[in-house]
Amino acid sequence: MGLPSATATSSGNMTDKQPPRELFKSRFDVPYSDLSALNTVDLHFPTNPAPDFQKSNIWLIYIHGGAFRDPGKTSRSILPSLPHLFSPSSPYRQPFIHGVASLNHRLSPYPTHPTNPSKPGDPARSSKWPDHMNDVKAGIAWVLNQGDDSQENTKPDSGRDGIFKRRYILAGHSVGGTMAMLIAQSDPAELAIPLPLGIVPLCGIYNFTALRDAHPANADIYNTFTTAAFGPEDEGGWERGNCTKGVIHDEVRVVVMGHGKRDTLVEWGQVEEMAGVMDRVNEGISGGGGIRKARVIEVKGDHDEVWEGGVEVAGCVDVAMKTLGVIRGLDSIRDRKSGAF
C-alpha cells in the first residue's frame, strides 16, 4: 500500500492553519571519528518534544544510500523526512523519538563519477568492506553515548549497560538498508553496541548477485560498485553483503521493510529474497520471551523518490514505532500476569 502524503511549506514545515515555525534544531557534520572528513553525523532534535514524564529514550538513526560510493548521497538525505516526523500536523509525527541522527561514512572509490571523481589515497573515498560498516557502528556508538551532549538541558537516563544512554530504531535507504539489516543479524557479543529495538530498511539490497542478474542492461554498473565495496564475486566477496542467509537477532523486536514495486534500480524481488528471514521474525516469541513483528510496506515512487519526498520514510518509521508500542504494551500485560512485576 502507499502512504498518505502531507504538504510542506517553503520553509520545510507542514502546512496547517498556523504560520510556519521551527520544528527542530539541528547540528550538522559533527565528527564521531577522526578517520576522515566523512566520519560525521547530523543531529536533529524536536523543538516540541513530549512532556518529561512521557519522553522517549529512543533515537532514530539513519544511514544514507548511494551504492557505498556516491558522494551525492549523504546524511542530508533524511532532511525531507524531518517535517513529517516533527510537525504537529503530520499524521506521522513522532513525539516520543528523542532525536534523529543521520550518519555519514567513508565511501568506496568512484573514479568515474561525472562531477566529483574520487582520488587515490583520499581516506574518505578509498574504503573497502568492512570500513563502511565499522564507521556506521562507530557512529551509532557515538550517538548513543554522546549525542545528548549536543542538546541543551538534557538529563540522559542510564542505559541497560551503564554506558549507552538510549535505545534506537535503525533506518537506512538502499545500501543503508543493507547495513541496517546486517547489524540486526549480528552477534551482540561481536557488535560492541546494543542491537536496535527495530529496523526500517527502505529499498534495501539484500542479495547483490540477484540484484545484478535482475538488471542485465546495467550489469556492469552493479558489478563495479559491488566489487569496489566487497571485493570480487568469484572470491566470495559479495557474500559479505548477503542478508538472505542471516537471522535477525531476538533483541530486534520490529522489522518494517519498505520497498516499491516501481523501483527501477532495486527490484521487488529483493523483498521476496528476504521472505524466509522475515517469516522467522513472525514465528512468535523471541528467546527473551518477547513478541516480535516483521512486515513489508509497499512504498510509492522510484528508488530515490522514496527518500526525496520524505513522507514514505516517515510513514514506515511511524509503522515501526507504533508496532513497537503495541509490543511493549503486550509485554507489560504478559509480565504482570506472570507476576514479573
Straight-line distance from the first to the last Cα atom of the chain, in angstroms, rounded to the nearest whole number: 40
Identify whether the C-beta of residue 67 lies closer than 8 Å to the C-beta of residue 223.
no
Max Cα–Cα distance, the chain, nearest Å: 63
Cα–Cα dist 275/172, whole Å: 19
Give the H/E segment covering residue 27.
strand 24-31
| Distance set, CA 124 to CA 33, 68, 116, 313 (Å) | 12, 12, 13, 27
According to the 3-state scheme, what is the secondary structure of 138-185?
A: HHHHHHHHHHHHHCCCCCCCCCCCCCCCCEEEEEEECHHHHHHHHHHC
Cα–Cα dist 85/102, whole Å: 14
Residues in the chain: 341
How big is the CA angle at 208 (ends 203 and 209), to the nearest 5 degrees? 135
pLDDT of residue 155: 41
- Per the DSSP assignment, residues forming a β-bridge with 63 are 103, 172
Helix locations, the chain, DSSP H: 82-86, 131-146, 175-184, 188-191, 208-213, 219-230, 269-273, 275-281, 305-309, 311-338
Of the candidates 314, 318, 266, 272, the one whose C-alpha atom is nearest the C-alpha of residue 296 is: 272
Crossing angle of the two packed helices 131-146 and 175-184, in degrees rounded to 10: 70
Copy the grid coordinates of residue 35: 578517520
pLDDT in tens, the chain (341 residues): 344 333 333 344 333 344 346 899 999 999 999 999 999 999 999 987 766 545 567 999 999 999 999 999 999 999 999 999 999 999 999 988 999 999 999 999 999 999 999 999 999 999 999 999 999 999 999 999 999 875 543 443 433 344 576 899 999 999 999 999 999 999 998 999 999 999 999 999 999 999 999 999 999 999 999 999 999 999 999 999 999 999 999 999 999 999 999 999 999 999 999 999 999 999 865 555 568 999 999 999 999 999 999 999 999 999 999 999 888 765 555 455 544 42
